[in-house]
Amino acid sequence: MTTIDSTSAGRRPIARAISAVQDRSGRLLALRFVSILWLLIATFCYFAAAAPNFATVANLRAMLAGASVTWLVAIGTTFVMILGNFDLSVGSMFTLSGVVFGELLVSAGLPAVPAILLTLLVCASIGAVLLGLPVGRFKISFLIVTLGAQLLIIGMVNVISNTKTVSIADPLVARIGFGDTFGIPNLVLVMVATLGIAHFVLNHTLFGRDVFAIGGNIAAARLSGIRVDRTIVTVYAISALAAAAGGIVQVSRISAASPLVGQTILFDAVAAVLLGGTSFSGGSGSVVGTAVGVLFLSTLSNGLGFMGVASYWQQIVTGVIVVLAGIAERIQRAGLVSSWRRRRVRAAELAATGSGQARPPYDTARR
């Protein structure tokens, strides 16, 4: 005699409903990406028409070089925010990497390449051990962990640097910040390579799938067999690695390792990530959208500078735009939640009908 598993039969409509909600989330992300892309195009065209020197090759090169630091840090921040977490220590990690890099070059006398690799390794290890392990393994709130880490790393920066700026005169470091390869600025090549790697990892690997799954529903991710602890540790290591890369690029651009840089890099990176469509609640996002968000903020800041707008007004305009992006994300997310609730009720009704049970009462379904 054949036995029908009513539990499995009941799960199929629910699985279809969840899949439908995920598809809708992807459509909302695509909508937000297209919106910020059109906003970038419109902003660029406006400043190109209003300021004669805005669209020159020299200014575009300078604008991209200026965006490179935020670009790198924001890509790492995207991983953390898709995970549904937040990293308050990004700015201090950014500063620490520059100081460590400068000490390895000047005090230790290492060549540029080993100094770069060692700096990246040190910062990634700090991110994994100091941030990832407490959050992932010991389940401590990421706000508490990253806030404490921020203060700790700032102290490390002051101890290592003795609060002094160190000049860097290495030719390879200068080539990173100002050199070209086949007529393309090296910083642009670094930006494109970083974006390509991050996009591949997030969208074409099992690790990327796990990051999205944990950000969407960490309890369901655990039940499905995902190594949540390991994924969280790896994501914080990636965030620290990206911040370290940004710090090294900053050193190459200013030819100095300073303990005073990085105060606003966290806010710039988060603004770009939110504008790019990544959800603050996790489970949805795109590094390509983040890249467009960085370009939009860079274009806006550069264009307002050409128009003679004071820097504090630029900050006000940027802040208003980010708040509006947050409101739009909230409205879209509320629509998604309402749709998910309707589909959940409908799936429960179908499951009850298919297993020969009575339909659930209205009050139960509404809950």
Token pair 């002094």 is found at: 164
Asked if 72 and 246 touch (Cβ cutoff 8 Å), the reply is: yes
Q: Cα 90 from chain centroid? A: 11
Name which of 102, 96, 119 is nearest 166 in CA terms.
Answer: 102
Res 31 pLDDT > 80: no
Provide the CA 308 distance to its chain's centre, in angstroms.
Answer: 31
Tokens of 239: 């965030």
Mean predicted lDDT score pLDDT of the chain:
85
Question: How far apart (Å, rounded) are the C-alpha atoms in residues 39 and 27?
Answer: 18
Q: CA nearest 254: which of 114, 120, 98? A: 98
Secondary structure (3-state) at 342: helix
DSSP assigned state of 281: T
Half-sphere exposure (Cβ direction) of 162: Cα atoms closer than 13 Å: 5
Domains and CATH numbers, the chain: 6-366 (1.10.3470)
Cβ burial 210-229 (10 Å sphere, 16+ → b, else e) = bbbbbbbebeebeeeebebb
How far CA 19 is from CA of 11, 13, 336, in Å, comes to 12, 10, 13
pLDDT in tens, 207-234: 999 999 999 899 999 998 999 999 999 9
The answer to whether 245 and 127 are in contact (CB under 8 A) is: no
Q: Is 240's pLDDT higher than 80?
A: yes
Whole-number CA gyration radius for the chain = 23
Residue 330 to residue 325: CA distance in whole angstroms: 9
Round to whole Å and give the CA distance between 313 and 135: 37
Residue 174, pLDDT > 60, answer: yes
Question: What sections of the chain are H helices per DSSP?
Answer: 6-50, 57-82, 90-106, 112-126, 142-161, 171-178, 186-204, 206-216, 218-223, 228-254, 265-275, 287-306, 311-354, 362-366
Residue 181: which H helix or E strand, with range?
Answer: strand 180-181
For residue 128, what pLDDT is reported?
A: 97
- What is the value of pTM for the model shown? 0.84
Calculate the CA dihedral of residues 236, 241, 247, 250 and round it to 10 degrees: -120
Q: Which two tokens stand for residue 151?
A: 């203060």
Could you tell me which residue, 111 or 5, shows the higher pLDDT?
111
Distances (CA, A) of 289 to 33, 196, 296: 6, 13, 10
Mean local confidence (pLDDT), 4-25: 45
Q: What mean pLDDT do residues 22-49 have?
A: 81
DSSP 180: E
pLDDT at 18: 39
Q: With 70 as the cut, is the pLDDT of residue 139 above it?
A: yes
pLDDT value for 342 = 60
Question: What's the pLDDT score for residue 343?
Answer: 62
- What's residue 354's pLDDT? 56
**Closest among 21, 58, 100, 123 to 344, alpha carbons compared:** 21
Query: What pLDDT sits at residue 213?
Result: 92
Task: Check whether 237 has a pLDDT greater than 90.
Answer: yes
> In terms of Cα–Cα distance, which of 197, 160, 195, 178 is closest to 251?
178
Among the listed residues 159, 31, 55, 161, the one whose alpha carbon sits nearest the alpha carbon of residue 102: 161
What percentage of the chain carries pLDDT values higher than 90? 63
Question: What's the pLDDT tens digit per position in 350-367?
Answer: 665 654 444 444 344 434
C-alpha 221, offset from chain centre: 21
Whole-number Å distance between alpha carbons of 329 and 271: 13
Residue 236 has pLDDT above 60, yes or no: yes
Neighbours of 71 (CB within 10 A): 30
∠ CA 128-165-93, nearest 5°, is 15
Confidence of residue 317 (pLDDT cuts 50, 70, 90): confident
Please classify residue 94 by burial: count the beta carbons closer than 10 Å to its beta carbon, then call 0-12 exposed, 13-18 middle and 19+ buried. buried
Confidence of residue 30 (pLDDT cuts 50, 70, 90): confident
